[in-house]
Structure 1
Amino acid sequence: MFPKLITASLAALMLASAANAENFEVKMLNKGDDGAMVYEPAFVQAAVGDTITFVSTDKGHNVEGIKGMLPEGVEAFKSGMGDDYVLTLTAEGLYGVKCTPHYSMGMIALIQADAPVNLEAAAAVIQKGKAKKRFEPLFEQVAQ
């Protein structure tokens, strides 16, 4: 009886957590408010368990995690070209994201899941081209 009660309690807790999870939509655009080749919004503040849906509004883009800009334990990810992609935030920290072919043109995004535990490491990653300029205001939005 007691093991069944524990199992039922854990299942209810997991369902409640999933029901509270939010989904954020990020558009992949050829042109947006911040210029050419952008994710909108480029900064998302969320929580562990939330999902980010990258919508391929304009074709020719993808979503890829930036090496050195993912929380510890989060596996590298990369979507197909022109595909929508759902990223589930599985660990707290910052997630740096790029569009592989448009990275040097500044097509990047920064996602914060709860506490920015990897802020120092993520900010230390050397960026290419316009990506460096576009990351500066995103890092300023990170909540401590």
Structure 2
Amino acid sequence: MKLFATAFAAAFSLLLPTVLYAADYKVEMTNKAADGTVMAFEPRLLRVQPGDTVTFILKDKGHNSVSIKNAIPDGAAPWSGKINQEISIKIEVPGVYIYQCTPHFSMGMIGAIVAGEPVNLAAVKSLPFNGKAKKIATEIFAAIEAGK
């Protein structure tokens, strides 16, 4: 019994730092970013660790955050925020998560979260993005590859 208790305590102590040090990040949904980009998530690219939480904050009305199908890691939970509502998501699986504002996708309102290593970057880069979303996606992918 003592051996079990010791093993349990050791295992729990390994998990404790993850629980205690999980971070909370904010992404604003805005009509105009600080760099002048119209209809944007700010920051556009966010680097986190698995276990962290990301909250999408409504800075201006008319926005939402929705994960893009096939643009999140295998096994990750998709999300779909409602228009004009903040949403918090817990990032559990390492990889690249690409998301959009549904009404402003055609205007290039997409963003990315990289959790740990971008293990699914090649798969996400192969997805068809069009118009301004393609331009923004290309910029995001370049920043991920550059380690920014």
Q: TM-score, normalised by structure 2?
A: 0.89
How far 1:67 moved relative to its partner? 1.0
How far 1:13 moved relative to its partner? 2.7
| Structure 2 match to 1:139 | 141
State the distance in 2 between where 1:80 and 1:7 align: 41
Which of 116, 119, 122 pairs up with 2:121?
119
| Structure 2 match to 1:45 | 47
Q: Secondary structure at the match of 2:144?
A: coil
What is the identity, as a one-letter code, of the residue corresponding to 2:41?
A: Y
| Structure 2 match to 1:27 | 28
1:16 pairs with 2:17:
yes
How far 1:135 moved relative to its partner? 1.1
How far 1:50 moved relative to its partner? 1.5
State the distance in 2 between where 1:51 and 1:100 align: 21
How many percent of aligned residue pairs carry the same amino acid?
35
State the distance in 2 between where 1:61 and 1:8 align: 45
State the distance in 1 between where 2:36 and 2:136 align: 9
State the distance in 2 between where 1:52 and 1:129 align: 27
| Structure 1 match to 2:101 | 99
Q: Secondary structure at the match of 1:25?
A: strand
| Structure 1 match to 2:86 | 84
Which of 109, 112, 117 pairs up with 2:111?
109
State the distance in 1 between where 2:5 and 2:36 align: 54
How far 1:34 moved relative to its partner? 4.0
| Structure 2 match to 1:71 | 73
Deviations 1:78-98 (A, max 9, x none): 112111111211111100010
Please, which runs of 5 or more residues in structure 2 have no aligned partner? none
Please, which runs of 5 or more residues in structure 1 have no aligned partner? none
The list of structure 1 runs, each at least 4 consecutive aligned residues, that deviate by more than 2 angstroms after superposition, is: 1-15
Q: TM-score, normalised by structure 1?
A: 0.91
Deviations 1:108-128 (A, max 9, x none): 001111111101110011113
